[in-house]
Amino acid sequence: MKNFRKIVIVNIAVILLIIMMIAQNVLAEQLPAERLRPRLVDEADLLTNEQERILLERLDLISENYQTDVVIVTNHSLDGKTSTEFADDFFDYNGYGFHSTRDGILFLLSMEYRDWAISTCGSGIQTLYIWVEC
C-alpha cells in the first residue's frame, strides 16, 4: 500500500511539472521577442507632433544608454483593467525590454479616469530607483 501511494504521488508531481512547463512555453510564445511599437505611444493625442519627435528621441537615447527600455504611453481607455494591469500588459505584449530579462520601465497616463501607473521589469526597478535618488 505504501508503494502504491508513493507511485501515485510521484505521478501527480510529474504531471504537475509537465503542465507547468507547457503553460510557461505557451506564455513565452505569446510575448514578442522584439519591440513592436515605439517607446512613445500617444494614443490620447496629448502631444504635438514636434513634442512627440523630441520626446521619442530622448526616450531612445536614455533607453540605449541605460540598456533599459523607457516607455511612455497615453491613452483614453484601460479596456476594463486597472492602470497597473494595463501598463504591465502593454509592456509585456508589445515586446518592450532589453536582454532576456526584459529590462524596462513604462509610464502610463490614462485619461479615462485620469489615472497613471508605472510598470517595471527586470532591472527597470533598480534603474527607476537610481533616477529617483538623483
pLDDT score of 75: 97
| pTM across the whole model | 0.72
Q: How far is CA 31 from CA 28, 90, 93, 130, in A?
A: 5, 11, 5, 28
pLDDT score of 103: 93
pLDDT score of 35: 74
Question: Are residues 48 and 80 in contact, defined by beta-carbon separation less than 8 angstroms?
Answer: no
Cell triple for 62: 536614455
pLDDT score of 1: 61
pLDDT score of 24: 52
Q: Phi, psi at residue 118, to the nearest 5°?
A: -120, 130
pLDDT score of 30: 65
Cell triple for 2: 505504501
Chunked into runs of 10 residues, the chain (134 residues) has average pLDDT values of: 69 66 53 81 96 96 92 96 96 92 94 94 74 56
The CATH number given to 40-133 is: 3.10.310.50
pLDDT score of 125: 75
pLDDT score of 26: 44
